[in-house]
Structure 1
Amino acid sequence: MTTLFLDRSTPDMRRGACPALSTPMQTGDGLLARVALIDVITPAELAELCRLARRHGNGILDISARGNLQVRGLNETSAPVLDADVRVLNLPLREGLAVETPPLAGMDDTEIADPRPIAEAIRQGARDIPGLAPKMSVVVDGGGRLRLSGLLADIRLAAVSSDEGIRWTLLLGGTETAGRVFNVLRETEAVSAILALLRKLGEKGPKARGRDLAAGLPTNGAPGQPASPFGTFRLSGHRFAAGIGPAFGQTNAESLIALCDEAERLGIQSLKPAFDHSLLFFGAQTACEALTAFAGSNGFITSPSDPRSAIAACSGSPACNSAAIATHELAAKAAEECGDLLDGSFKLHVTGCPKGCAYPQPSALALCGTTAGLSLITQGKAADEPFASVAFADTNNSLRRIADLVRNERQAGENSAACLARLGPRRLAAAVTSGRS
């Protein structure tokens, strides 16, 4: 996608450019502005954001994989007005470097340590560091139920318990599993170590990322499957959280306003966007359960067993100029017809083009739109070599054949991701081509 900075005459064509509230990005349905929050807001405030999205854009909102709100359908006249109107709401907006903490930080009695003080110190310290990449991100993860182990990060601090007390593992690049171990630190050392690394990256220029400092370091290889944010979670202080999300990360203003109004009626006073395209609402157990029931009956995802939660789909055509396929239609059909394949062990990546914005890491199975048809990739990214290519008209049949193969070949105790990896590209290609003349 192309980023259009409103104070410039030339579009920014960098792949690494990142939209923000004051620097929206050009897409197929207009400019897209990102509203990034660092703390909870009220249901009434989210509802007002929806009304602003309807007034200034096309009324379509995204919740990104990293838990950012995105307003679609803006233009060069309405985007600056949205910026001004959002700032009048006095929301806890993120300015500058993305420093992320788990959505239950400080409320989760299972976390090893509260990461928020370290994260805030890094935010403040990084304000004057020039030259950082637009998509530079730091994760500070204190552990607990909803850790951010599956998110990509340039620099990551992960709390660990040891005989000597709490320590923080410092990782560079990738997810928590794939990240490279740089050091293990005491809390008093963590902030200065992160800021020193950020300065070094800034000196290398805006194309430098955390992985560029990781050569020769060992991978962490630690935790397994990240937890899903969908469902109901017990928190400290007799509070609960309800994890709810729109299908494929996108909804319209009216549906989200209705959800917020119901949350207010139930006495829920705070919420925050979270990873995996979700919203977490905080309140009493009965209120959270009632809101979950309301959301489920109105088309939202409310459970990790929902096949739609196992699909990462970009906006697709016509919302994105780069997209060759209507990704949401394809994803909805996959969820409807291949639910047993989508067991939560992997993300089915459905992307409109090889950039793969919705899931920038390898997937057990990816479907990528091209001008010639659909490419199918296993154990790779959207731009990797496909094991098969099919015409658009044969997309659904091809996916059903893969689902049937996995169902028939899955061994006892084996999940879909493991089965896909064991079958390999040749068996998958043979399944896709079977039945085609």
Structure 2
Amino acid sequence: MKGSFMVAADTQTMEDQACIPQGGAAEDDIASPLPSMVRGACPSLNAPMQTGDGLLVRLRPWTPGLTVAQLRALAEATEKHGNGLIEITARGNFQLRGMTPQSMPGLAADIDRAGIVPESGVAIEVPPLSDVDPSEIADARGLAQRLRNAIDSLHPKPALAAKLAIIVDGGGRVILDEISADIRLKAINAVDGRQLWELAIAGTQATATPLANLTDEQAIPGVITLVKALTAIGPRARGRDLDIASLQAQLPAAPHFSPVESATPASPVGLIPLGKQHAALGLRPAFGRIHARDLIRFLEVAEVAGVHEIRTGPEHSLLMLGSPRDRIEDILAAAVDCGFQTRADDPANYAVPCSGAGACASAHYSTRQAAADLINLGPDLLDGSLQVHLSGCAKGCAHPSPAMLTIVGAATGYAIVVNGSSSSEPVAYIHKEDLKSALAALGKLVRNNKAAGESAQQCLKRLGRDAIATALRQG
């Protein structure tokens, strides 16, 4: 087999860096335990992760995207060797569900036969439209490949944390600002025409700590400096463990410059213009999951409409490339019929459920059904200003960072967390049978108290935890 699959626990974000987190499955839940399945290690195709609906495989292709034929082959292999469920993670990885130890060799052979080569080595992520987006400030994909080569050529080989993630973002229409990484390079333009790379560590674009602004020639040596510092700390070191002052002393002094205001980024869902003649179409499987049969049915229309490449993107998206604009409506109609979300303002984009009961052995409730119930209650909460994280348990795999509202499943009911993660202190507990009424009460609270021009998030922040807790009790 060309390369190796990355296999993960039953999540869509926390283990979205191809690793098992702390608090993951116990050893007796894992099929054919191997040394690679030690917590914190990166399992391979020979040691997939056992979940509530079978073995789970995560795959990020080495190529920027897949052809229609390759994605069709992937879907057919998932249905033949698993339960047919395919997920697109928040970071743009494929997850294939429901395999068994007996079916894994056939899955590997079919994917290899399709010419799909899994990415291996340190995780370096770039925006999905890098190299086709004319508004991209710098060539992120090219720099990422040079960086990967530089890391691979280090001697001795650096022992890096299994979950370590690097983002190289060249700007453009679809960016990776909301995805967390240990090391970030972000292209920026100066008013004097210079193009620089902002180097930062430990977080999203908004929360990461900036270290330096580097020229194109300085960018790779700058990241290598961080890689060596992580190696010196130890094989579990992450970006948050780096000494900022020490690193800044080793990096080139930041050049004085005035940045040019960048263009407003586009959602990865919807029509994304790529110049005057071309466009990408971003689609999102409902709550990040689609059955192989529906995907195959959609691909038949997409291929006829001229799609020649499909790339995964952030926010559980699939981006269609190649179709002329006059065929976009055909693709949109087929996408809706096959269960895709097609609009950036679709309320379903802002409900973030984990796999939930039935798919994950740790989940206490059907998170996807709860997400559907939330959407049916109307747009009061899901107005685009906030996300509601529906977590089947306290691990919070689908959205490990804080959310405005998090519904955490427990054995006897639900914990409601405000402006925190699934492990934060809840403002209230509700019984199992009260979830719908509690969600309705929160929607009513926003509807009755939102000031003119105020978003749902602004309203809830203004009202505060006590008002939210009171509304939940009354609901």
TM-score category of the 2 structures, normalised to the smaller one: over 0.9
1:130 equivalent to 2:155? Answer: no
Alignment correspondent of 1:308: 348
Tell me the SS of whatever aligns to 1:364.
strand
Alignment correspondent of 2:48: 24
1:270 equivalent to 2:309? Answer: yes
Cα 1:319/1:338, change in 2 over 3 Å: same
Structure 1: segments with no counterpart, 5+ residues = none
Q: TM-score of the superposition, structure 1-length normalised?
A: 0.93
1:427 equivalent to 2:467? Answer: yes
Cα 1:349/1:320, change in 2 over 3 Å: same
Contact 2:295 2:338 in 1 (8 A): no
1:252 equivalent to 2:291? Answer: yes
Cα 1:389/1:318, change in 2 over 3 Å: same
Give, as a single letter, the amino acid of the residue that structure 2 aligns with 1:27.
T
Cα 1:18/1:378, change in 2 over 3 Å: farther
Q: 1:293 Cα deviation (Å)? A: 2.0
Give, as a single letter, the amino acid of the residue that structure 2 aligns with 1:403.
G
1:196 equivalent to 2:220? Answer: no
Alignment correspondent of 1:279: 318
What CA distance in whole angstroms lies between the structure 2 residues aligned with 1:295 and 1:116?
28
Contact 1:19 1:34 in 2 (8 A): no
1:148 equivalent to 2:176? Answer: yes
The more displaced of 110-119 and 88-97 is 88-97
What CA distance in whole angstroms lies between the structure 2 residues aligned with 1:123 and 1:17?
20
Cα 1:329/1:356, change in 2 over 3 Å: same
Q: 1:24 Cα deviation (Å)? A: 2.3
CA offsets per residue over residues 311-343 of structure 1, 9 Å max, x none?
Answer: 111101111111111111111111111423111
Tell me the SS of whatever aligns to 2:101.
coil
Alignment correspondent of 1:343: 383
Contact 1:338 1:400 in 2 (8 A): no
Give, as a single letter, the amino acid of the residue that structure 2 aligns with 1:261.
E
Alignment correspondent of 1:229: 268
CA offsets per residue over residues 226-272 of structure 1, 9 Å max, x none?
Answer: 74211011114722111111111111110011111111111211111
Cα 1:164/1:3, change in 2 over 3 Å: farther
Contact 2:414 2:432 in 1 (8 A): yes
The more displaced of 120-129 and 190-199 is 120-129
Alignment correspondent of 1:2: 25
Contact 1:24 1:34 in 2 (8 A): no
What CA distance in whole angstroms lies between the structure 2 residues aligned with 1:192 and 1:370?
47
Give, as a single letter, the amino acid of the residue that structure 2 aligns with 1:29.
D
What's the C-alpha RMSD, in Å, of the aligned pairs?
2.3
CA offsets per residue over residues 362-419 of structure 1, 9 Å max, x none?
Answer: 1011111111211110111011000011011101110111111112211222212222
The more displaced of 270-279 and 129-138 is 129-138
Cα 1:295/1:304, change in 2 over 3 Å: same
Equivalent residue runs for 1:74-153 within 5 Å: 74-127=99-152, 129-153=157-181
1:66 equivalent to 2:91? Answer: yes
1:160 equivalent to 2:188? Answer: yes
Alignment correspondent of 1:378: 418
What CA distance in whole angstroms lies between the structure 2 residues aligned with 1:110 and 1:268?
21
Cα 1:243/1:226, change in 2 over 3 Å: same
Cα 1:227/1:367, change in 2 over 3 Å: farther
What CA distance in whole angstroms lies between the structure 2 residues aligned with 1:45 and 1:397?
45
CA offsets per residue over residues 148-184 of structure 1, 9 Å max, x none?
Answer: 0000111110111112500000010111000000111
Contact 1:373 1:392 in 2 (8 A): yes
CA offsets per residue over residues 175-220 of structure 1, 9 Å max, x none?
Answer: 10000001110011111211221232233233211111165799xx
Cα 1:227/1:403, change in 2 over 3 Å: farther
Give, as a single letter, the amino acid of the residue that structure 1 aligns with 2:106.
V
The more displaced of 4-13 and 158-167 is 4-13
1:296 equivalent to 2:336? Answer: yes
Q: TM-score of the superposition, structure 2-length normalised?
A: 0.85
1:390 equivalent to 2:406? Answer: no
What CA distance in whole angstroms lies between the structure 2 residues aligned with 1:278 and 1:20?
25
Alignment correspondent of 1:238: 277
Give, as a single letter, the amino acid of the residue that structure 2 aligns with 1:30.
G
Tell me the SS of whatever aligns to 1:2.
coil
1:33 equivalent to 2:57? Answer: yes
Structure 2: segments with no counterpart, 5+ residues = 1-23, 249-260
